[in-house]
Amino acid sequence: MTSGAEVIELSSDEEEEPVPSTTALARRRPSSPPDVKPPLLADADVKPPLLHPPGYGALVPVKTEEPVPVPVATASPPPRALPPPRICRQFWKSGDYVVARRNPDADAPGGRNRLRINPRFLHSNATSHKWAFGAIAELLDNAIDEVNTGATFVCVNKFTNPRDGNPSLLIQDNGGGMDPEALRRCMSFGFSDKQSDAFIGQYGNGFKTSTMRLGADVIVFTQNQNNGVPTRSIGLLSYTFLMETGCDDVLVPTVDYQYDPMTASYIQMLRHDQKLFSSNLGILLKWSPFVSEAELLKQFDDMGEHGTKIIVFNLWFNDDGDMELDFISDEKDILITGAHKKVKTNKLEKIATQNYISTRLRYSLRAYASILYLHVPDDFKIVLRGCDVEPHNIVNDLMYRECVLYKPQIAGLTESSVITTIGFVKGAPDIDVQGFNVYHKNRLISPFWKVANNSYGKGRGVVGILEANFIKPTHDKQDFEKSNLYQRLETRLKEMTYEYWDLHCHRVGYDNKSLSKADRALNRANRMNAGSSPISAPPRLLAANIPTSSCGIPRLSASAAREKINSLESHSNNMMGLKRKLDSFCAMTDNADDQDRQNHTDGVDVSQRKRFSEYRTLTLENDKLRNECLQYEESEKQLVMKVYLFGN
């Protein structure tokens, strides 16, 4: 390898005023104007030496043309120094872009016969991500897709930029990697080989939008062995480089290496000629975190025989001027700066709501990654800052679960069947959580989608989980396209919430007026005996889980119900003598809702009334459990059959 090869710089061979470094620009206040006045019109026509042949490195399909010879620098008066473009480290304010000099190949023969993309498009394209974690999820999706090529892990970690010591974001997997052509397609727009339903990404745009949303620059290292000859490729997509040089076209410098069995090492792979390789390498060494070719190649040391490493550097700041990603507050997590400030309160219900995953996923990458995929492959793991991310199945957070079958239809034709698991979140109604977690091809799109919006609290605590592959997500994978199918799904989920609420709200302490008076009396009696908490028998009956490949469907234990019935019968036999003494009292209290009738029992001892109330509660519960036991046995048979059918 010839690390001392000639490097063609963007500037002229003659001396000129130095361009501020990336570090200096990063420390500049975003609101400070440039110190140098804009160049005269004549200055914009100064052309640096050609870096690429026409079409090379463009992010759109280009017309095939012959390489244009690199112009030789001649002794000429030094051009006037160009002012540094205004670069802002705050993402939502960094879209201003002023072209300082034109792309050198624009005036080359045939240079105007191809499409070009202004660098400003990199920023505007990245604004599709409103949330930094959504951008990181795109990169995790690419790693999950590599399971098909043998990937067993994806690592997300902090990387310290050796140039300035600033934190950067590192994402690395041990998948199949990319050959030189695949890397160029990855860093271009609209190219994607993922057309199968087995892949999450299919648009060929996620890498660009996600990396440019997280930081101004990204460098990619990838190693591949698919073509028989192991290759290593390095590519740089740098908004800073394009802005500081004032290019009016997107240039992506890449270098490739191939394994030489004669020397048992990797040597430079020349796609055109040595000058082109050297010019691209020079840009990489000037604008990336690494100052030598040896440092670049050292990044492959921990990648094994294949895989991909992505380093996003010059990370964006928020509106307060702080780095958007927080690597300091939690050494085992990555947080959204300023989003994890908890409200100080002594109320247990508010504390429980703040600690529940529906709140934590908004600022904790570990919490978000734990529910990002409905099923993580058994031999694959997500490693965040050195610690595995434990998958969190929201189904296990639910009590009184039910499974509802939904069949979306278009023009009378059934497209698919979706099983929705719905229930009350544990701790309801104290925990103010509700909504549906909707997945698409195993990927979470809408977490805790609140479809039941009302002012009287109906639906509070009801949570559901489903996988909706029949509707399409938006490009940022944080929402769904608002199609007719989407609207029908929203309507059905709302109905499902209210139907479930009407059937089960009494179990968490609400007065369910849709029940019979006897059942409502039983519920009130149980709340009187146990405080404000719901009765404990049904939760124990519904506690057992059944593992499935599609969703968590509860297995209802009939033996547990029989055990409870036997204990209740034994206790009720001891109360029979009391029943004979209180026949007259029983006649007056047949309707438990008429509380005012209790004033006729003044002659009855208070302790006897209390004991009779306990007896009546137990007998009613006994009768109810007998009926539920029969229903549970039948439901168990049906659910096992569903699991068998949908599992196959």
Handedness of CA 145, 146, 152, 154 (dihedral sign): negative
Structure confidence at residue 539 as a pLDDT band (50, 70, 90): very low
Structure confidence at residue 211 as a pLDDT band (50, 70, 90): very high
The string of pLDDT tens digits covering residues 298-353 is: 999 999 899 999 999 999 999 888 999 999 999 999 999 988 777 777 788 888 88
Cα 259–Cα 260–Cα 262 angle in degrees, nearest 5: 150
pLDDT of residue 38: 37
pLDDT (average), residues 13-32? 38
pLDDT of residue 313: 96
Structure confidence at residue 417 as a pLDDT band (50, 70, 90): confident
Mean pLDDT score of the chain, rounded to an integer?
74
**Residue 217 region, left (φ>0) first, then alpha (ψ -120 to 50), else beta?**
beta
pLDDT of residue 129: 85
Alpha-carbon distances, residue 520 vs 352, 399, 455, 505, 612 (angstroms) = 29, 20, 24, 11, 18
pLDDT (average), residues 97-101? 52
Structure confidence at residue 221 as a pLDDT band (50, 70, 90): very high
Q: What is the C-alpha to C-alpha distance for residues 478 and 134, in angstroms, rounded to an integer?
A: 7
pLDDT at 419 over 60: yes
Residues sharing a CB contact under 8 Å with residue 202, sequence separation 6 or more, in sequence order: 192, 194, 195
Q: What is the C-alpha to C-alpha distance for residues 113 and 110, in angstroms, rounded to an integer?
A: 5
CB 604 within 8 A of CB 585: yes
The string of pLDDT tens digits covering residues 441-483 is: 999 999 999 998 877 788 999 999 999 998 999 888 999 999 9
pLDDT at 281 over 50: yes
pLDDT of residue 253: 94
Among 283-292, 349-358, 536-545, the range scoring the smallest mean pLDDT is 536-545
CB 182 within 8 A of CB 227: no
The answer, yes or no, to whether the previous bond of 429 is cis (omega within 30 of 0) is yes
For residue 438, give the nearest of 484, 492, 515 by alpha carbon.
492
CB 618 within 8 A of CB 565: no
Number of CB atoms found within 10 A of residue 43's CB: 15
The string of pLDDT tens digits covering residues 570-604 is: 544 554 444 444 444 434 434 444 444 444 444 44
Alpha helices in 93-238 (DSSP H): 120-126, 132-145, 180-186, 206-214
Residues sharing a CB contact under 8 Å with residue 432, sequence separation 6 or more, in sequence order: 349, 350, 353, 460, 461
The string of pLDDT tens digits covering residues 559-568 is: 554 555 455 4
What DSSP assignment string belongs to 245-282?
Answer: HT-SS----EEEEEEETTTTEEEEE-SS-HHHHHHHHH
CB 612 within 8 A of CB 578: yes
pLDDT at 269 over 50: yes
pLDDT (average), residues 380-402? 96
Structure confidence at residue 620 as a pLDDT band (50, 70, 90): confident
Residues sharing a CB contact under 8 Å with residue 411, sequence separation 6 or more, in sequence order: none
Residue 385: is it exposed, middle or buried by C-beta count within 10 angstroms (0-12/13-18/19+)? middle
Structure confidence at residue 251 as a pLDDT band (50, 70, 90): confident
Provide the 3-class DSSP secondary structure of residue 531.
Answer: coil
pLDDT at 137 over 60: yes
The H or E element spanning position 487 is helix 484-504
Among 153-157, 196-200, 471-475, the range scoring the smallest mean pLDDT is 196-200
Residue type, 225: Q
Structure confidence at residue 622 as a pLDDT band (50, 70, 90): confident
Phi/psi at 72 (nearest 5 deg)?
-85, 130
pLDDT at 421 over 90: yes
